[in-house]
Amino acid sequence: MENQVIKMQAITKVYHTDDIETHALSGIDLEINKGEFVSIAGPSGCGKSTLLSIMGLLDDANSGTYQLNGRDVSSLAVAEQTRIRNREVGFIFQSFNLISDMSVAENVELPLIYAGIGKKQRRERVAEVLERVQMSHRMKHLPNQLSGGQQQRVAIARALAGKPAILLADEPTGNLDSRNGEKAMDLLAELHELGATICMVTHDERYNSFASRVIHLFDGKVVDEHVASYEQELAMVGA
């Protein structure tokens, strides 16, 4: 499907520790189309972060197929997966993962350097995405000079800078208080309205309503999938 960003079929992930076999994911089928905002919900230990890691090419499934932007990436060499990850995937982490001795602008620019983008284009993109998340006035500050909410905005800008096919957000509000958590979600919702494709992992049911579709995992399996309430409300208003 031309509009399809992610297509997973029968994805299984098993971890072996000593004599213990843990089935983190069991036969996951998942499709995400361009422009969707998908929330993957479920209790701790249900396989959410494992699934997101496989989507982001940070981990491999034991079996199953994974297509990213129409290309089968499940059997590629590590170097090629890394190249595709740098170009196609933007990550937003719970702990922000900003480098403490680098400025806001330098943190946003770093993945662009890894991607081999020229200096002039890097600077233009950094300025563009920092403006987009309303952090231009803080570009010379260090991360420890920012609030938690501001750090998450910088992390979102960094994820956007490479113009990825999809943004993967792993518990993006996990280290934020409720006020800043709502602000971070408002920003993701705004990016979605502007056309971004987003897949978010969360255990907080409050934030599922920001997504267009919610997929519930339990014990490594998809147990439920439905349109989020926010999208339902929009449909009702449109009707």
Q: What is the pLDDT of residues 187-198, one digit of tens each?
A: 999 999 999 999
Given a contact cutoff of 8 angstroms between Cβ atoms, the answer to whether 42 and 48 are in contact is yes
Is pLDDT larger for residue 213 or for residue 16? Answer: 213
Helical axes 148-161 vs 104-114, angle rounded to 10°: 30
Rounded Cα gap, residues 34 and 103, in angstroms: 32
Question: Is pLDDT of 31 > 60?
Answer: yes
Question: Is pLDDT of 204 > 90?
Answer: no
pTM to 2 decimals? 0.88
Rounded Cα gap, residues 205 and 55, in angstroms: 22
Least confident of 49-53, 63-67, 128-132, 231-235: 231-235
Residue 150, both tokens: 């501001």
Q: Please report which helix (H) or strand (E) contains residue 196, including its range.
A: none
Domain annotation for the chain: domains and CATH numbers? 4-238 (3.40.50.300)
Question: Is pLDDT of 230 > 70?
Answer: no
Residue 193, both tokens: 């309205």
Rounded Cα gap, residues 169 and 184, in angstroms: 11
Sign, Cα dihedral of 159, 195, 71, 32: positive
Average pLDDT over residues 113-121: 91
The reported pLDDT for the residue numbered 229 is 55
Buried b / exposed e over 146-176, threshold 16 CB at 10 Å, is: beebbbbbbbbbbbbbbebbbbbbbbbbebb
Top mean-pLDDT range of 34-38, 115-119, 204-208: 34-38
Question: Is pLDDT of 19 > 70?
Answer: yes
Q: Are strands 63-68 and 4-17 parallel, antiparallel or unpaired?
A: antiparallel
